[in-house]
Structure formats: C-alpha cells, structure tokens
Structure 1
Amino acid sequence: MKNKKHKYLMPFALAAGLIAILILITGLYHKQTPTQDSQIATAYRTASDDLKQAILSEISQDAYNILKNNQCAVFLSYSNGNYLPTVRHAVGKNISNAWDDIDNQIEQAIQDSEFQVKYLKCDIVSETNETSFEQLREEIANNYSGRCHYGIAFDKKFDIALLEQECNHYRIFDKSTNNVLLSKTNAYLAAQTGQELESMPSNITTFKCESWLYEIESGEITKLSSQDANYGIRDFELNKNNLATIIATSGYYLRNNIDEYGKFVYAFWPQDRDSATNYSTVRHIDALLALEQYYELTSDSLTQDAIRRGIEFLFDYILKFDNASYVRCTDEDESPDEIRMGGAGLLLTVLSEYERLFGDNRYQDLLNSIANGIIKQTQPNGHTTHVLNLDLTTKRDYWTEYYDGEIIIGLCNAYNITGNQDYLDTAMRITEYCLNNNYATTGDHWFVNATNELTKILPNEVKYYHAGLLAVARQAETINQSTEDPTKLEQLMGAFEIYNRAIENHIAIPDEFDITLVLSQIQTQSESLLNNYMFPEKAMYSPCISDIIGAFYTEEYDGWKIRIDMIQHHLSGYYKLYCNYELIQKLCT
C-alpha cells in the first residue's frame, strides 16, 4: 500500500498503580453530553472503517487465518497523542469479524470520555511460533537492551497477548535476570483489560504482525515494514527531502528542550516522563554543534538565541589562567572536578561555527583563550594531556582517543575563523603524534573527521587523506557489525568527503580503500539508524507522543532514553549525508 503523502509532525516496570493511573488518565474521564458521546463514537467509527477498508483493498479477509481453527488475530491501538495508548485485540473467523469485536470494545471504552482518536494502528498477526519460556529468556539474555523482537501470546487461544511494542515499551523484561516480570505484566494487563496471569506459562506463542498506521488529522495511512531490519516502522526512502525532515525534527527537539538559562533536558525517559538530574557539559557542547547544523539547514529564527544561551550557560564552567581558558567538566558518572581537553576542542568548534554562521564575533576572545589553553597543554611532540585537575596538574595523561580528534577539529575551525597559524601548527603536531602512535588504526569518527578538516585547509598534503581513508579501510569488515551506533555513519561520511576531495585534487587513493564498500556501508548504516528515530508508530506507545516525535533515542536496559549527545551523533551523520546527497547518488549510478 502506498502512502497517500509524506507528512511528519513537528515535535513533535512501573508499579501497578502508576501504570493504571497513566492509562486511566488517557480516557480523560469527564462525562460528556449524549451528543458529544455520539460525535466521538461516530468519529472513531469513521476512522476505523477508513483504515479497515484501506487494508482490505490490499489483502483478503482470510489472508492471515493462521491460528487454531483457521482464525486470525487483530490488534487495534489508539491514542489521542497526549497519553498512553489503549490496545485491544480479538480473534475471529476473518479480519472483519475480529475487527468488529474490537470496535465494540473501543466504542464502549470511549463513550464516557472526551477522547478524540488521533492515531489508530492495526496489527494483524502474520507469523507465530510456539516456544518455551526458557527459550524466550535466552533471547532476552542475548540482547543488550533486554528487548524482545516478537509479540507474546500467553495462551494458545490468544486470550491474553501483548504486542512487541507493549512488551518492550512497558519494560516487562528484566535484563538483570533475563526474565519476564509477572508483576509488571499483570500491572499493565490490569490497566489495559483487567486481565491477570496467575503465573508465567511454561510455553508461549511468539508472533509477528503486518501493521498499518492511520494518522487521522493528516489522513495518511502508512503500511509499516514487516522486514527484520526495519520491522514495525514505515518504509522510508532516504531521499534529500526526507533527510531534511529527519534533521529538522531532531534539531527542533533540541531547540525546544533548552531552557531560558541555556541548559538542555539532558536525558529523558518518555515512558516515565522522567528527566535526568545529572548533567554532562561535554555532551552539552555536543548538542550545540547539532543545533548549529540544524540552523544551517533550516534558518530557524529562534535557534541563534538558543545557541547563544547554550554557550553562555557554559560561562560558569570556564576557568581562566592568564591568557588561557579551560572547560571544567561535569559528567553523569564521573567527578566534576576536572578539566577535559576534548571538551575544549568541541567548544572551539561551537564558537567558530557561531561566528561563521551569524557573523557575530562576540565570543572571539573566549575562542582565542580556549585555543591558547590547548596549546599550553600540547607538548612539542604533539602529545596533549587529556584530563587535568582544576589547578592544571595532570589527572589523566590519556583518557580516550576521541579527545585528540575533537581537539584537532576545534583548532582547524579556530584557524579558519582567525587565521592564527599557531592553531593550525598545533593541530598538525597533534595529528603527527596520533599517526606515530597508531591512534588511527581504530579509526574513530572524530579522528577521521579531523583528517577531513585538515584536507580542506591543506589540500595537497597526501598523508592526511591517507590517514583518514586507511582508518576506515582497516575497519571495513567490522563497521556493519554495529548498525545502531550513529558514530559509524559520521565516520563513513568523513571518509567519503576525504575520498571526494582526493579525486578533485588528483590524490592517489590507497589500494586498501574501497569506495564501493563504503557507499554500501553508508546505505546500510543510514537505513538501520532509522530504527532509532521516533516515528509516530513508535512514539504512540509513549504517554507523551507529541513531545518526542522526530527525536532519536536509544533502547537500553532501563527503557527508551532520549539523550542530547545521541541526537547530535544521529543528526550530524544525516546532515553530512544530506550535504553530500547528489555526489553519492552520482557515484551509485
């Protein structure tokens, strides 16, 4: 089924009592007049009929009669966009029979509410597998995030069954024990349907579905993917317009989640509506980089002020010693009483980009002072002390290879703004140290993009081209082993830009570097990362759908998490893909 149109909204376990309260709130239990009741029920029935007819125009009534007694199972999830969705399911002799049963349930549920259905999702069970509870536990154990890739029916009749999204998003799995929690399962069941399991059965049925989403306000009906790689989300062509949508919505999330003092909502767990109380200043700077890229694409008029507030929030974390300044770093896990030179490098890039984008040099004194601090901590051989105590004594001589790349990029950007040769010379010296000490063999995204920046400034220096290209080539066989790490796309896009510049400047490409493989990996990574994007069909299982549509998230042992640096890495990788879209298409044809 083809989409009627592509339209995306701007951003956009628990104890039994909490889940029950959240879902009961969904009903907005305010009694309405009979006329209003009738209007609400009629609006729902119209939407339901529209979705059913659209589906049945593509498949037959008995296309998925795969259950016992030649029956089918249908799930309908509905949400008004502000609260947890309500999910109902039924088994019937065909799709319409099961659907009508669910309609009756839903209409009864909304008769006493002012609930206006905004999203309606249909899941039809298309594949089942009878398995043991122990096998399910093994699958959970093999997933870092403790998630299951199937829905679960707790009996053969499908009397009690949960969609994959319900299982994962309400965290009925406990990663610490690789178990399904009976208490959380029953709390969720009680809130949704009033059902309860006496105990976890020894045998269960896992299932997958064919799914459709109806966004009622826009009139868009979307067939969701049933393929493993993007199961449960829409088929989304990564053309230039859609890339722009991804960048715009995720950037909007950042811009919309920075307060009047310039502080971001650092991390957010939408299932609990819970925000982190700790903070990382380094990741704060990461997020400002993403906001600058967002502005460059959208020219959003409110973004300059948001970036300015974010920069000035950091003033309380700047330590000045004569003509040199440093960034005091707080972190969610580490002691705040230290100076991290990687943060200084990132801040140089933010300040340089601010001046380039807005023609405003108000922060140039700070930029020069931060650059001087880096130079003072760089030895003649290019080694930079990574972490300092607040009195500038060494705390950690080496912390992470990321810092060197971040520092080189920052110095290159500062050189572009100021023309100060000391900044470029220091960047080159640090790069030489990295090359002499085999830092590049791991080819992290910051180092590859650092060599990319150097080739822009020094287009005839072959060693910088080769350093970045070989760093990626030597990881060629392992990059696609991880398809949920956004830094891989950043790394690959840095290598692509180096390659393209090498061709333009008639620089020989190392034999180890395979551009065909890199283009294939860019496609794989960019498509796989869509699983981390909050499409409506994912966000609707959150109690705050309108707040999170268009953001990027990670799915970890403690549930969905939207964190500012993860948005930055996704946005930056897609932004580079957007900027190079025509060149990539030309090479791929």
Structure 2
Amino acid sequence: MTDDVVSALLHPIYVRLQETAVPAGGAGSEYILFFSYTDGRNRARVETFRGPTFADAWHRGLARLRKVVAKHPDMIRWLRVDTVDEMRRSNWAELKRQLTEVKRNYCRQGISLDRNCRHAFLETEINANAMFYGGVEYPHCVVNEKNFRLYAKLRHGLGDVDLKDATLVWMFSSRGFFLDKERPDEVHEIAGPGRSAGCRIVEALDDDLLSKVIKSSSTFLTGQVGDDGRFIYGWHPCFDREIQAYNSLRHASTTYAMIEAWEVTQDAALWAAIERSLAWLLREAICTVTLPDGTEAAFLVDVGNEIKLGANAVAILAFTQHAVVGGCIDHLPLLEKLAQGVLHMQQSKDGSFVHVLNYPDLTVKEAFRTIYYEGEAAFGLMRLYSLTGDERWLSAVEKAFDHFIAKEHWRHNDHWLSYCVNELTRYRPQERYLRFGIENVRDHLDFVLNRITTFPTLLELMMASEAMLARIEAMPDMRHLLGEIDLSKFHRALHFRARYLLNGYFWPELAMFYAKPQRIVGSFFIRHHAFRVRIDDVEHYLSGMVAYRSKLIGNSNRVRKAEATV
C-alpha cells in the first residue's frame, strides 16, 4: 500500500470527520484524533494525534499510518478514526463514586490522565481491556487497577499510574468513522454519546442487514462445532480465554437456533455443523431408560448425571425442527422417547413438572430449578404435536396450561411460554389461552422499552406474542381481547428491542479492540458479563433476529400483493 493509496483510503473519513470535529483538550484549543487499526487478527493499535487545526492533527495521523504500512503492508485491514467532542475534569475519587452508579461494563466515555489526551483511552479500549471491570461480584463499574496499569503500560509505556483519590482525571466523549480496507467504499459513522456509543449508526434494520447479521452469527456458531460435533462453549474476548464449562441443554437449544438460521441462509457448512451437533447428542448425551411401567423413555443427560426437564424439551425442539426443515423422519422414534421422558416428569395431579432427576435411577434431585424449564417442556411437546398430530402431546400441554393459568405463570414474562401459547392457540384458540398469551407480555412493555441490557430473549418474547396477536386480529369472536393490550406501545417496543439488539453485536469496529478480533467478529455478546460470547448467548439473539426478519419479509410480501391488486 503506497502513500497515495493510504491517503485515498482515508480520504472519505477525512471529508466526513472534518465536518463534525471540534477543538477540545483541557484548554479547548486542540483537535484530538484517535487512529485505531488492526490486521483483524490482533488487538487494534490505538494512537493519539493532536493539532491546533483539524488538518494538522489529521496529517500527523496520516503520516504515522504511512510509516506503518511501509513496514507492514498488511497491518491495516480495519481502520477507525475517533475525535474528541468534549472533556470534563474530575478526580479519581469522584470518578470512582460515579462508577458505582453505572452498570457493570456500561461506562460509555473515554478517560484521559491529562487534559490534552497525551495519555488517554477510548471507551472501547477501557471495555476491551476490562479496565473498569471488577468481576461478577460487582454489579457496577469499578476500576480494575491491575488491568488498568497493564494496558496503560502497553498503550502509553507508562511505568505506573497514579490512581490516588486526589489525582485529576478527564472524562471525554467521542465520535468517529470506520472502514474496512476490503470495502473501501463503505464508510460507517460511529455513534457518539449514548447507549450505542462506539458502534456504527444503522439507518434501517432491513432485510439486507438482518440477513447479513443472521449469516455472520450462524457462521460463528458453525465455527464453534468441532469435528466430533461438540461446541466450543464460549469465549471471554477481552483476553481470548475459552470458557471450559459445558452444558448439553444449551448445546441442543443452540442447534435448534442454527436450524432456524439455516432456513434463511441455506448455507452448506452450517447444515453440516448441525448434523455433527445432532450426532453428538445422539452419541454422547441422550440415553434410553425403561420406566417402571415398561415404557421406553429417552433423556438428555447433562453434566453431573443430571436429567433436566428443559434439556429434554430443547432436544425435542432441535430434532423436530430438523425433521420439519430437512424432511428427515429418521428420528421420530427418538422423539417419541424424549417426549415420554417429559411426560414422566409431569405430575398427573395438576399438570406441573419435576425439574431435575438423577440419572440413571430417575430419583428427584430438584423439584424446581428455573421457571424456564416448564415453558420449554410445553413448547417442545407442542412442536412435536405439530409434526406428528399425536394427541398425547397436545393433551399434556393442555394439562400443563391448567397449572400455568392457576399459578399465574404469565407473571414471569417467559419467552418460552410465549412461544408455547402461540403454538397451542393454533390448534386450541380458546380465550383463556389467548388471554394468557396477552398477559404474558402486556405489563412488560416498559421493561422491553427501557432495559439497558440487550436481553435478547425479550425480542423472542415479543415476536412470539406478535404472531399470536396477529391471529387474534383475524378472529372476529376473539378480537375484543386486543383491547386488553396497548397495541401501539407493543409494536413500538418490539421494533425498539430489535434495533437495540445490535448494541450486542460484534461489529468489526468494536471487535477490533479485543484480543483476537477475527475470532469474535460477527457474533453477539453479553456486555455486563465482560462481553462474554457463549453459544446460548448467540442462540437467543439469532432466534429473535430470524423471527423479526420473517415478520419483515411477510409484511413486505403482503404490501406487494396488495399493490398488485390495485
């Protein structure tokens, strides 16, 4: 890459950034620019440049990049330039107090150790190096002195950092632009202060963008499935540490989401990974047991020889979806046995479920563990009923709903129950079931609109509820139920949550600051868990996005059909 090529590559950023850049610094007289770049394989290098004019600061940064490229032509794949908007003086005592009021990993400002940003760190650097992360025992941000000093030495060569209470420190906001050398005509604006700080501004969450996100996140999951069908369970991306734990329930539920994604992408590598994953479940995790009445049942046995109600349920979902999408009925005998396992855990007296058994003696380990298991179990049985028409499974779900209604389980706002009641009312459109579905979401809309975390299961809850509400609209004798929910607010919350999920997406302009960008780019993360990327985290984002895209496509098709008839 020659000097001219470097200038040409950065010129679109120069044009756009000079229109918005303002002088900052402690005296308010300098333009301050952060140039961040990486080859995609390693953590981004970040360098700061200042000047009395924007052009001065820019040309200093440009000169540095020319030198980098002259020595290492492949060093720059992703490039981002941020400019400081505003600085605010404080001290460490006040900053530490303020951090106690900020949710863990949700500090959205940069900091400087001096008023002119000679020793400064972008918000993305702070988060990607866990500088304000004290561990799960702290619900709020906290200065991690060890990590802070390590990165300060790496970034600025500082031998020590004075973190005493009285020492001055400056907070700043920034905004900027990003480009990928492989797509030089696409320059993405980086949002300034707010919940979306540090990520590109998205104008429209349309089919094209949704398809790309579904493709990239399902490709990530494909890459986590080994030759033996077992997943790499997850990553802590700040320092590229693999999560060593495992959970067969999440293995199965992630596979289910991958099959949903395959319906969108039709990707051969994804399908091969799905087949390997299901084969692992068959070979390593699912065991057959003869019940006291002589019936053969199958159970997904998890770590610690646990039989979890939810594990059997999501195994049913995965193999049922595989049959529906792939047209393969080879696993119907297995599905029968898995469903018998769920029925064995259902209490005949009231329709409730026992949650965890010991394997192989089937003694009760925990009567209750999490409310989600019951919704998963009912949904799994409903999907199997949809496939086979066997009344046993529908009858069991109706019995379960007698329990759910009596115990007011709608108060839990469980997305699995939303999935289930949507499926149930396709076959039993009874008012009590439809009302349960409405109650499951009705009083949760403020939470959906205001929750600071991405909380991906909220979109799943909303999408399943939306499908049921759309059917009620077409049922004259049930349409009165729509008066029990604020539909305008519901749809506003649904679309807001779908867009908000992109705040948990590893865009390249965010991934570039982590230890191994290429490993995590295009996946999804949980910010308050140190940007953890785990297969079930990605799963829930993916399922919600697939459902939301399906809704958009359906609406577009209906509009086109209507226009064609005019």
Residue in structure 2 matched with residue 429 of structure 1 by the alignment: 399
1:337 counterpart (282, 305, 309): 305
Residue in structure 1 matched with residue 293 of structure 2 by the alignment: none
Whether 1:234 aligns to 2:200 is yes
Alignment of 1:30-429 (within 5 A): 39=1, 43-56=5-18, 58-59=19-20, 63-65=22-24, 67-68=26-27, 70-175=29-134, 179-200=142-163, 202-219=167-184, 220-236=186-202, 237-315=204-282, 316-322=284-290, 323-330=296-303, 336-380=304-348, 381-390=350-359, 391-429=361-399
Is the contact between residue 408 and residue 430 of structure 1 (CA under 8 Å) also seen in structure 2?
A: yes
Q: TM-score, normalised by structure 1?
A: 0.87
Deviation at 1:40, TM superposition (A): 5.4
Whether 1:518 aligns to 2:490 is yes
Residue in structure 2 matched with residue 477 of structure 1 by the alignment: 446
Partner Cα distance (1:103, 1:188) in 2? 24
Partner Cα distance (2:411, 2:161) in 1? 55
Residue in structure 2 matched with residue 7 of structure 1 by the alignment: none
Partner Cα distance (1:303, 1:41) in 2? 41
Deviation at 1:43, TM superposition (A): 4.0
Partner Cα distance (2:344, 2:146) in 1? 58
Structure 1 counterpart SS, 2:527: strand
2:424 counterpart (446, 454, 471): 454
Partner Cα distance (2:201, 2:227) in 1? 38
Partner Cα distance (1:135, 1:478) in 2? 30
Q: Say which is worse superposed, 199-208 or 443-452, in terms of deviation.
A: 199-208
Residue in structure 2 matched with residue 576 of structure 1 by the alignment: 547
Partner Cα distance (2:307, 2:70) in 1? 60
Residue in structure 1 matched with residue 463 of structure 2 by the alignment: 493
Deviation at 1:499, TM superposition (A): 0.3
Q: TM-score, normalised by structure 2?
A: 0.90
Q: Render the CA deviation track for 1:62-112: whole Å, top value 9, x for unaligned.
A: 733564152221111111111111111122111111122223344444544
Q: Point out where structure 1 has 5 or more consecutive residues left out of the alignment.
A: 1-38, 331-335
RMSD: 2.2
Deviation at 1:50, TM superposition (A): 4.5
Partner Cα distance (2:280, 2:103) in 1? 35
Is the contact between residue 290 and residue 572 of structure 1 (CA under 8 Å) also seen in structure 2?
A: yes
Letter in 1 for 2:310: G
Partner Cα distance (1:179, 1:406) in 2? 37
Structure 2 counterpart SS, 1:222: strand
Structure 2 counterpart SS, 1:229: coil
Partner Cα distance (1:263, 1:226) in 2? 40
Is the contact between residue 88 and residue 106 of structure 1 (CA under 8 Å) also seen in structure 2?
A: no
Q: Say which is worse superposed, 341-350 or 199-208, in terms of deviation.
A: 199-208
Partner Cα distance (1:440, 1:240) in 2? 32
Q: Render the CA deviation track for 1:318-376: whole Å, top value 9, x for unaligned.
A: 2212211111122xxxxx22110111111111111111111111211110100111122
Structure 1 counterpart SS, 2:195: helix
Partner Cα distance (2:444, 2:28) in 1? 52
Structure 2 counterpart SS, 1:88: strand
Partner Cα distance (2:418, 2:28) in 1? 59
Aligned in 2, Cα 1:48/1:319: closer, same or farther, shift over 3 Å?
A: same
Q: Render the CA deviation track for 1:512-553: whole Å, top value 9, x for unaligned.
A: 311111111112211221110011110111232223221101
Partner Cα distance (1:77, 1:476) in 2? 39
Aligned in 2, Cα 1:532/1:191: closer, same or farther, shift over 3 Å?
A: same
Deviation at 1:150, TM superposition (A): 0.5
